[in-house]
Structure 1
């Protein structure tokens, strides 16, 4: 297990949005929110925890009191707590934009979880292994899993246009409204509060800092947990020098995992190898890219040689590409001789390509290798354990489109959005706000070095920022040792804020 504490944070998008938009339901809106309540028990961190589960809708309303959207959420509230001021509550969501919260719900934090093969194997077909989750955070905090509009069972209501919820600021406003309603209905305004998000969910956390922390009617959070961080998009985009720099140590880690480098040069020391990859990325690679034609041939060639040693790509390939290797090309090139491509979300995964001449991979083996299991597990848990009697389509991922990336001072469009400026400012204005940023070493969608580039900026207080690393990918909880470590790290993070 690779683990480190450092000054920093960061994030990037799942990059999926493709299904048809959800049309407003003008005829079948329920008069009241649909809510399903049950009770359960789980052993969490060695403690037996009894909890109340509430799975159901919360209506968002406009200034005239008209319901505009139904946000579906699942809350787990520990029973027997006498003083809610000592009991934290965590609001949890995934990313996309357009993803329901099933990944974090069934992957790591909920009381029931899906167990998939640890070593990057396909999930196959049902039946899947769904068990009580010893890693759930219910011993430390109450949990609220949120599905944004257009995901899960959440939807626009009446005449409301779903597009009014689909954008950086629009999404933050709707989730912020939901959180305020939840705190009021559950009388939890004076409880410690945490936000936990994955991928675009970390981008959303930055936007929520602007929506909820930075104003007179604010909600101050005790901490945020950023899982697979993407807040400063330029550091994760594979089409510009900064993005390529952020990716390069991830390319190197992938090459090491698939035995494409000479490990003996580093005496089989993976940490030393990654230190060299980081140093090369910032000290040699980025300057060569930025100087372009001004770099003399000897320096360019030296960079090509070193990059080949670190990434497993051939010197001739790197020279031909001018050292610029976009992510899709790397994924097909690194194992081309075997007819395989590696995963974007988790480069430990390798999938068979139709031929060995492709420039872009046919799909993402780290995506299609897990999606069926998670969807089945979430629906099974809802219907069999929580008694959710809803026949609507459950949207796992891809239920939104035409996302509005214009976010004012945080920048425009997907390429250069930077919501970390709002987190940085919130930390200046809230002295108790702490950050835990978790990173999968084999995550090429939100690369770990891009996160480091963001949180190494001097505007952040390093004493309140913790970075952790796992020998897994974007969903590090697929890897059994990593889920155990991730759960410990988050549990310790929450406990430290409650002392």
Structure 2
């Protein structure tokens, strides 16, 4: 990467302090208070699909204003532009958010779509020395990308101590201020004519689903596509028996990976087994749970046997839980006899508890592993490689609570945005081993987005043999980024193609 660097502010020249015991002043760019406006720019090049892709990267901050134009916060962002493309009017722009809420954009930034990726092994486990390397699967060949850290994540901070936290920390507040921020960014960067995409991971899918309609209705900014990576429920209700039942196909995937299924199922490929578990869930399990305690004893025994078969645990454990096996118990139970737990966000990961007894795990094995590799890498990359100079702590997870979850209609908002904009399409990406936002729950969300079925041909689902962050597994990184490329290319209308039904 080239060494050209530009700072928004440089340290002023000062005369030497003649006092013998005087302590040197810290450089002005190293401060505990975030600058509302700042920027560091560098150039680089990455080889993607065998071709060199030159780019410019800007790491900086842009303010958040209140209704009176007063700066109340500032958001940190990292913006990548392919530098050998002259016509931005046809160049796609991807607006990227992670989730939490309270999580920085680090995850997809240095492990998925950006031109740099973690130093990890092919299955996603930490390696030393920590750091980043070129990402040959980055989507920078087909789209420019901006990674945005909402308030209190990454380096982003509230600047006005009198600002109301409710302005930022809630489903609808989050969408409202971020839409304003994006409007300003797109205007400043001259990207109004560019095809635009939102991508969100985990809670970020709630965020981008809401933003799709907010940008359209309040800012008249129309999107070509929305990508939901490991999506949440998007406010679409599945309380009770439906929500309980939807976990089973995930249990099947996990048990298959950990080799705990019966021999006949274990001998088959995962993608041959999952449709069978899905059909049982929809056609038999949900109707059985609907009868509750009045389910015939013989039928209850039959259902319990099938659940045990597809979950890789004992019929006794299933019956003890009245056919509804909690996820916490499953993570503890599946490998209990081997002395391990399985990870919540990615059940390929194993953990060790203080005792093998109990119904809950001591810690999330996968998250511990991920923080092990991501935290040093992002701090090194931003501070040492991009040379964004600050003494502010980079919040991989920041304080955003209390978070107002009321009136979450983001799924319905996404449907409305699609209905109003014939160009907009949606792709869902899920890992089979994700136990927090399970792949079958994601399918259910997609099915329920539009009960009319009229938008069905504009919705797409892709599954991967990994967990919540499917891109950490090398094979799935290649496939998932190819799916992104295909989605972006397929949603670019032909020149002068009208948006109409």
Name the TM-score, length of structure 2 as normaliser.
0.88
Deviation at 1:463, TM superposition (A): 1.0
Distance 2:262 2:131 in 1: 38
Give 2:81's match in structure 1, choosing from 71, 77, 81: 77
User: What residue in structure 1 maps to residue 372 of structure 2?
Assistant: 372
Give 1:212's match in structure 2, choosing from 215, 223, 235: 215
Pick which of 255-264 and 69-78 moved more. Answer: 255-264
What SS does structure 2 have at the residue aligned with 1:370?
helix
| Unpaired stretches in structure 2, ≥5 consecutive residues | 1-30, 495-501
User: What residue in structure 2 maps to residue 38 of structure 1?
Assistant: 42
What SS does structure 2 have at the residue aligned with 1:490?
helix
1:472/1:479 contact within 8 Å kept: yes
Give 2:184's match in structure 1, choosing from 177, 181, 186: 181
What SS does structure 2 have at the residue aligned with 1:493?
helix
Distance 1:351 1:266 in 2: 23
1:261/1:312 contact within 8 Å kept: yes
User: What residue in structure 1 maps to residue 129 of structure 2?
Assistant: 127
User: What residue in structure 1 maps to residue 424 of structure 2?
Assistant: 433
User: What residue in structure 1 maps to residue 284 of structure 2?
Assistant: 284
1:149/1:162 contact within 8 Å kept: no
Give 1:89's match in structure 2, choosing from 84, 88, 93: 93
Distance 1:32 1:201 in 2: 24
Closer, same or farther: CA 265–473 of 1 in aligned 2, 3 Å:
closer
Higher relative contact order, structure no. (Cα contacts within 8 Å, ≥ 6 residues apart): 1
Q: Cα deviations across residues 232-268 of structure 1 (Å, max 9, x unaligned)? A: 456787xx32222221100111111111112424752
Q: Cα deviations across residues 362-416 of structure 1 (Å, max 9, x unaligned)? A: 01111101112101111111122211001101100143210011126x2xxxxxx
User: What residue in structure 2 maps to residue 275 of structure 1?
Assistant: 275
Distance 1:131 1:206 in 2: 32
Pick which of 398-407 and 386-395 moved more. Answer: 398-407
Note the aligned Cα RMSD (angstroms). 1.8
Pick which of 304-313 and 80-89 moved more. Answer: 80-89
1:346/1:474 contact within 8 Å kept: yes
User: What residue in structure 2 maps to residue 476 of structure 1?
Assistant: 470
Deviation at 1:269, TM superposition (A): 3.3
Distance 1:335 1:68 in 2: 50
Give 1:196's match in structure 2, choosing from 185, 196, 199: 199
Q: How many pairs were matched up? A: 459
Closer, same or farther: CA 425–263 of 1 in aligned 2, 3 Å:
farther
Distance 2:279 2:41 in 1: 53
User: What residue in structure 1 maps to residue 229 of structure 2?
Assistant: 227
Distance 1:93 1:346 in 2: 20
Give 1:452's match in structure 2, choosing from 443, 447, 454: 443
Give 1:68's match in structure 2, choosing from 61, 68, 72: 72
Pick which of 205-214 and 173-182 moved more. Answer: 205-214
What SS does structure 2 have at the residue aligned with 1:405?
coil
Structure of greater Rg: 2
Q: Cα deviations across residues 7-27 of structure 1 (Å, max 9, x unaligned)? A: xxxxxxxxxxxxxxxxxxxx9
Q: Cα deviations across residues 180-219 of structure 1 (Å, max 9, x unaligned)? A: 011100111011000011000101111112321235x321
Q: Cα deviations across residues 155-199 of structure 1 (Å, max 9, x unaligned)? A: 111232334200001111121111101110011101100001100
Name the TM-score, length of structure 1 as normaliser.
0.88
| Unpaired stretches in structure 1, ≥5 consecutive residues | 1-26, 411-418
Q: Cα deviations across residues 300-348 of structure 1 (Å, max 9, x unaligned)? A: 1100011111111111111111011111111001111112110110011
What SS does structure 2 have at the residue aligned with 1:109?
coil
Deviation at 1:495, TM superposition (A): 1.5
State yes or no: 1:111 paired with 2:115.
yes
